[in-house]
Structure 1
Amino acid sequence: MPAVAVPAFALSWWAACYLIGRDPARGPSSRAAAALLAYAIGVVTWTLAPGSATAEIFLCLPALFWAGTAVSLLPKVVPERRQIDLGWLILSAPFLLMLVALPPTGRLVVIAPMAGGVVLLWRFRDQVQPTVLPAALAVVAGLYAAGLAALLLVDVGAPELVIAAIGVDLLMLGFLVAVADALDVGERLRPDLIRSLVAALLGVVAVGAPAALTMRASSGTTATVLQFVLVAAVMTGIGLIGQLRRWLDSMAFRHDERLRQDRSALLALTEALPRRRPRQRLIDTRQPDFLRFTRQALDNYGRLGRLMRSPLTGLPAVDRRLSGLTIEQPLARAMELRAVLQESIDRLRPAGEFATTDEWRHYNALYFCVVLGLDPYARRRRTDGLDREARRALDWMRRYVPRRSLRRWQDEATAIVARRLWDELTHTDPRWLTRVTTRST
C-alpha cells in the first residue's frame, strides 16, 4: 500500500495547494481543492485502517465537493445561480449525515448531488468556457463514480489500485478547474503548471520514496502518520511557494518595511511572468471576454500583482504611454494600465461641481469605490486624508444607496468603460504590435 498511497497522497495534496495558491477566493478552485484534500485524508486513513468506515467516508466526500465545483462553474448570467449555489450548501449537510450513517453500499448516495451538478453544467454548456468542459467533467465524474462503486460494492482484490484510479480522476478535476480558471481571468496556465508539477514530482522522488520505504520498514501507526505529515509539508511548500515566501519575509524582515515591500513587488513579478498571455492575443479576444477582463481589472485596481497578469496590459493605450525598454516590463505596463483605467473613469464625470444626482451615479460608483478604494458599508470607515468631496460621497452612499444599487451602477459603469476601450482596440491599426516590438528592441 505505501508504494501507491504515498504518490497518490503527495500529488493530490500538491494539486489542492496549487489550486488554493492560484486564487483562494475563487469558488471552483477552493471546492476542487477541498475534494482533493478529502481524498488525501482518505488515502491516509485507508493506509492506517484498510476498509474502515472512516476511510470510505473520506473517499466518498469528494463527490459532494465535486457537486459544488460544478455549480460554481455555472455561468454568472444564469438567473438562478445564487439560489443553486445556496441549495448545494444546504443539501450538503443531509447528504453528509447520510454518508456517515449509511452502510458501505448506501454511501453511494453521494453520487446523486454530483450527478445533479454535472447535469446542470451540461444544461448551460453553450455558455461555459471552454466548451468541452461540461463533457470532460461528465466523463471524469462517471469514472470517479465507477471507482467508488467498485471500491464499495465489489471485492476487486486490489483496492489500492482502485483508490489510485480515483485519485487520477480527482487530479483531472483539478486540472479542468485550473483550465477554466485561467480562461476566465485571461491568464496562461501551462508554464506555471509545468513549473509546479515538475517541482512536485521531484518532491515525490526525493521525499516520497524514503517515506514509503520507512512505512514498509516500520509497522507503527505513529511512524506512518509522521511520514505522511512530512510529505504534506513538502507538497504544501511546493504548491503554496508564493505565500510561503511572503510569510517568511514577514517573519525575517518584520523590522524592515521597505525591504518587505521591495521583495513583495519582486515576488508579484515572478508570479505574473509565467501567467501573462502574449499581447497579440488581445486582438483575438471576444467582446464578452473583454468586458469580463475589464471588470476584473477594475476589481483589482489597487493590486498591481493582479494587474500585471491582466490581458488588458496589452492595450494600445498602454503602449502609447511607454517607450524604450519599459514597454516590455510587466510592472510598468500594470501601472500604466491603472492610469488608463483612471482616465476612463474620469471621463464619466459630468461637468460642474460634485453632485449626487442620477447622472453622477456611474462616476461616483467607480471613482470613490474603485480608484479611492472606499467601502461605504464598512463598520469602521476610513476617513483620514479624504477631501470634502470624498467624505460627502461616502456619507451619501452609506445613507441613501443600497448595496445592490451600488453594485448595479458599478456594473453599468464598467460596461461603459469596457465599451470605450473595446472601440479603441478594434479601431487601432493592427500593425501597432509590430511597431511596438520594433521600438522596444
Structure 2
Amino acid sequence: MIAVSVVTFGLAWWLGLYLLVRDPRKRLLQRASIGLLAYALVIVLPLPAMAMAVPAVAWTGVVVCWLPVRYDRWWRYSALPLLAAAYFAPVVVLIPLAAALVLCLRVRRALLAAATILFGLSCALLLVDVLPESLVIASAGFDLLVFGVIVAVADAFDEGEAIRADMVRSLLTSAGLAAVFGGQVALFLDDRLVPLLYGTVAAAIAVQVLANPLALLVDRVAVPDVASERAELRDAADALPRRPPLDPAGFVKLTRRALSNYGDLGKLVASPLTELPVIDARLAARGASDQPLERAAELKSLLLEGICRLKPRDGDFGTSDEWRHYNALYFYYVVGIRPYSRRTKREDLDPDARRALAWFVNQVPERTLHNWQNAGAKLVAEDLFSQVDAP
C-alpha cells in the first residue's frame, strides 16, 4: 500500500536527517542516522534483500556505543565484511542482530535486547516473504523509529538538553511541508508519478531539517563577511527549544556542560544556567537587553570569572597541584588548546599557553586531565551557586 510506504519512508528519512544534524561528529548519531536513511532508501529503491544489511549493521553499531569500548572495536572490524557477505547471502543480515542481542543480554540491557529481537523478526519476515510487504515494512520501520527516538533522547540527556519540544517542532514542520508538496503529486498519482512522490517528500523534509546547514552554505557564498554571525544567531534560535528547566540537583552537571560549550554561544543559549538570577542582575546593571545571546554572553563571563578565581597568585603559570584545576579549565576551554588531538595545531599561542600545552602532552595523561576538569567544574559550580544564594 503506497500510503503506508510513503509515511514510513517520510518518518525514517526525517528522523535520520534529524539525528545527523544534531551532531554529525558523534558515532552514536552517525550510525543511527545511517541505519534510518538506508532503511528509507530500501523502501523507495528496487534494492535486493541484502540492502537490509545496512540498517541491521548500523543498528548493531548503535548498540555497541552503549557497551564497553572493546565491543565497538570489534564492530568496526566486522562491519564491512558482513556487508560484503550479505551481498551473496542475504540471511547474513541477521548475524549482526543476533550478536547485538547476545551482547545486550550479557550486559543486562533488557530494553535494547527486546528492541533488537523485534527488529530482527521484521528483517527475517522481509527475507522469507511470508507476509504482505507493506506490513513488514511498517513493522521494521516502527522498530527503527522507536530505536531512533531512544537514541535522540539518550543523546539529549548526555548533552543536558530537553528534546521533546524541538523534536515535535521539527516533525510537525517536516510533515506539513511533505503534505503540502507531496499532496500535490498524490492528487494525480499513477505508477509513473510514484518516484516523483517519494522525491518530493524527501526534498521537502530535507529542506526543513537541513535548513541551517543549507543557509550557512548560501551565506558563505553570498555574504561571507557575516556568515559566521548569522550562523551563530540561527544556532541560538534553534537552541531555545532545547533548554531544559533549571535543576538545582544537577547544578554541577549543568556547569560542566556549560564549560564544554564555553566557546560556542549558540550552545550556551540552551543552558538552563542562563536563567540564573545573577545574570538578570548583571544584565540590569549594565543596561543590556534581555536577549538569549546576551544571557549566553553573561554566562560565559561568569564562567570565566569562576575559572580565574581558581588561579593561584604566585605567577602566570605553574604545574604544582594548586594549579591543576585552573590549568585544566582555562587552557582547555578558554584558550582552546587540545593537547591530545593530532588534527589541532595552534600557531597563535602565547608563551604560557605553549608551556601549558607541552606540560599536558608530556606529563598529564588524558584521563587525569578529564578528572581535573570534573573537579574544577565542581568548584566553579559551587562558586556560581554561592552567587545564586547571595542576597
Please tell me the TM-score bracket, short chain as reference: 0.7 to 0.9
Between the aligned partners of 2:384 and 2:79, the Cα distance in structure 1 is: 47
Between the aligned partners of 1:168 and 1:361, the Cα distance in structure 2 is: 49
**Superposed counterparts of 1:415-426, under 5 Å:** 415-422=375-382, 425=385
Superposition deviation, residue 17 in structure 1: 0.7
The letter of the residue matching 1:66 is W
DSSP 3-state at the match of 1:25 = coil
Between the aligned partners of 1:34 and 1:198, the Cα distance in structure 2 is: 22
Between the aligned partners of 1:364 and 1:103, the Cα distance in structure 2 is: 54
Tell me which residue corresponds to 1:439.
none
Between the aligned partners of 2:119 and 2:84, the Cα distance in structure 1 is: 21
Superposition deviation, residue 415 in structure 1: 2.0
Is the contact made by 1:35 and 1:63 (CA closer than 8 Å) also made in structure 2?
yes
Tell me which residue corresponds to 2:247.
282
Say if 2:173 is the partner of 1:199.
yes
- Residue range with higher mean Cα deviation, 34-43 or 269-278: 269-278
Tell me which residue corresponds to 2:311.
349
RMSD of equivalent CA atoms: 3.0
| TM-score (normalised: structure 2) | 0.87
Unaligned regions of 5+ residues in structure 1, if any? 49-53, 75-80, 124-133, 436-441
Tell me which residue corresponds to 1:381.
345
Q: Identity over the aligned pairs, expressed in percent?
A: 37
Between the aligned partners of 1:212 and 1:121, the Cα distance in structure 2 is: 47
DSSP 3-state at the match of 1:321 = helix
Q: Give the structure, 1 or 2, with the largest relative contact order (CA under 8 Å, sep 6 or more).
A: 1
Tell me which residue corresponds to 1:27.
27
Superposition deviation, residue 187 in structure 1: 1.5
Tell me which residue corresponds to 1:110.
96
Superposition deviation, residue 340 in structure 1: 1.9
Superposition deviation, residue 228 in structure 1: 3.4
| TM-score (normalised: structure 1) | 0.78
Residue in structure 2 matching 1:393, options 340, 347, 356: 356
Is the contact made by 1:67 and 1:116 (CA closer than 8 Å) also made in structure 2?
no
Is the contact made by 1:14 and 1:236 (CA closer than 8 Å) also made in structure 2?
yes
Unaligned regions of 5+ residues in structure 2, if any? none
Residue in structure 2 matching 1:93, options 75, 80, 105: 80
Is the contact made by 2:64 and 2:72 (CA closer than 8 Å) also made in structure 1?
yes
**Superposed counterparts of 1:169-208, under 5 Å:** 169-208=143-182
Superposition deviation, residue 163 in structure 1: 0.6
Between the aligned partners of 1:252 and 1:397, the Cα distance in structure 2 is: 42
Q: May I ask how many residue pairs the two structures share in their alignment?
A: 388
DSSP 3-state at the match of 1:24 = coil
Tell me which residue corresponds to 1:142.
117
- Residue range with higher mean Cα deviation, 265-274 or 54-63: 54-63
The letter of the residue matching 1:408 is T
Any idea what the Cα deviations from partners look like across 1:272-295, whole Å, max 9, x if unmatched? 1111123xx322x34xxx444333
The letter of the residue matching 1:24 is P
Between the aligned partners of 1:169 and 1:328, the Cα distance in structure 2 is: 44
1:260–1:63 Cα change, 3 Å = same
- Residue range with higher mean Cα deviation, 366-375 or 13-22: 366-375
1:380–1:272 Cα change, 3 Å = closer
Is the contact made by 2:258 and 2:268 (CA closer than 8 Å) also made in structure 1?
yes
Any idea what the Cα deviations from partners look like across 1:130-183, whole Å, max 9, x if unmatched? xxxx52x44433322222222223522x21221122112211111111111222
- Residue range with higher mean Cα deviation, 34-43 or 180-189: 180-189
Superposition deviation, residue 43 in structure 1: 0.7
Superposition deviation, residue 210 in structure 1: 4.3
Any idea what the Cα deviations from partners look like across 1:13-51, whole Å, max 9, x if unmatched? 111111112222233222211110110111123xx3xxx
Superposition deviation, residue 271 in structure 1: 0.4
The letter of the residue matching 2:374 is T
The letter of the residue matching 1:305 is G
- Residue range with higher mean Cα deviation, 109-118 or 144-153: 109-118
**Superposed counterparts of 1:160-309, under 5 Å:** 160-211=134-185, 216-218=190-192, 225=195, 227-254=197-224, 257=225, 259-278=226-245, 281-283=246-248, 285-286=249-250, 290-309=251-270
The letter of the residue matching 1:152 is L
DSSP 3-state at the match of 2:283 = coil
Tell me which residue corresponds to 1:127.
none
1:160–1:184 Cα change, 3 Å = same
1:89–1:213 Cα change, 3 Å = farther
Superposition deviation, residue 341 in structure 1: 1.7
Superposition deviation, residue 71 in structure 1: 2.2
Is the contact made by 2:307 and 2:326 (CA closer than 8 Å) also made in structure 1?
yes
The letter of the residue matching 2:17 is C
DSSP 3-state at the match of 1:7 = helix
Between the aligned partners of 2:319 and 2:366, the Cα distance in structure 1 is: 14
Superposition deviation, residue 307 in structure 1: 0.9
DSSP 3-state at the match of 1:323 = helix
Between the aligned partners of 1:364 and 1:340, the Cα distance in structure 2 is: 17
Say if 2:328 is the partner of 1:365.
yes
